[in-house]
Amino acid sequence: MKMVKDKYILVGADPAGFLLKEAICDNLRKKGWHITDIGAKSLDDKNVEMFHRMAIRVASMVAEKEFERAMIFCGTGMGVHIAASKVPGIHSAVVESVPAALRAITGNGVNVMCMGGHYIAHQMGIEIAEAFLNNSLGSGYEWWPNFYEFHKLAIDEMDAFNYEEYKANGFQMKKLGEIELPYDCINKKGE
């Protein structure tokens, strides 16, 4: 698997996300990143897949463990997010700010980051990408006790989730464990 720690990342875009993808990739290349880009290759790329097909292809490469993480781009980030989320094992998020990127990776273990070229300025996209790539699940963004354990359990349960079993069980989720929540800590701002 091509890992983030070794500076490998997979990217894809439709024409609406192309310029944002290019700005981010140019910055990453200057910092030594190895980028596999499945397209679009230009603003008028006639061979580019429709946004949802490209997103499913990227997500499949992550699900099949060719890459640890990926970033995909369209006009809003929403279309590629919906498509990528159809692939089992993919934890995808639409991100439009650095704090959201930090939470997506440190708290939710997102492996596919989605951004919208219509809404995100290039410098903001670069900072979002760096937050996504320079952090990992539980890497310290949140300060409350059990942060990692709480979110890791949630990710494990989502990975194990089977809708047919859920329905057959009277819409009760199969629990893989319990984590005590520090409500007195998570509702405060670092007091």
The residue behind tokens 């439709």 is 14
Q: Which residue among the candidates 25, 74, 114, 185 is catalytic per the annotation?
A: 74
Dist CA 159 CA 156 (whole Å)? 5
Q: What tokens does 46 get?
A: 């006639």
| Whole-number Å distance between alpha carbons of 48 and 54 | 8
Distance separating alpha carbons of residues 6 and 160, to the nearest angstrom? 28
Per-position DSSP letters for 38-92, written without gaps between them? -S--STT-TTPPPHHHHHHHHHHHHHTTSBS-EEEEESSSHHHHHHHTTSTT--E
Cα(99)–Cα(10) distance, integer angstroms: 22
- DSSP category for residue 37: E
Bridge partners (DSSP) of residue 36 are 10
CA distances from 60 to 35, 68, 92, 174, 176 (A): 17, 11, 12, 26, 26
Is 74 catalytic? The answer is yes
Point out the residues that are catalytic: 74
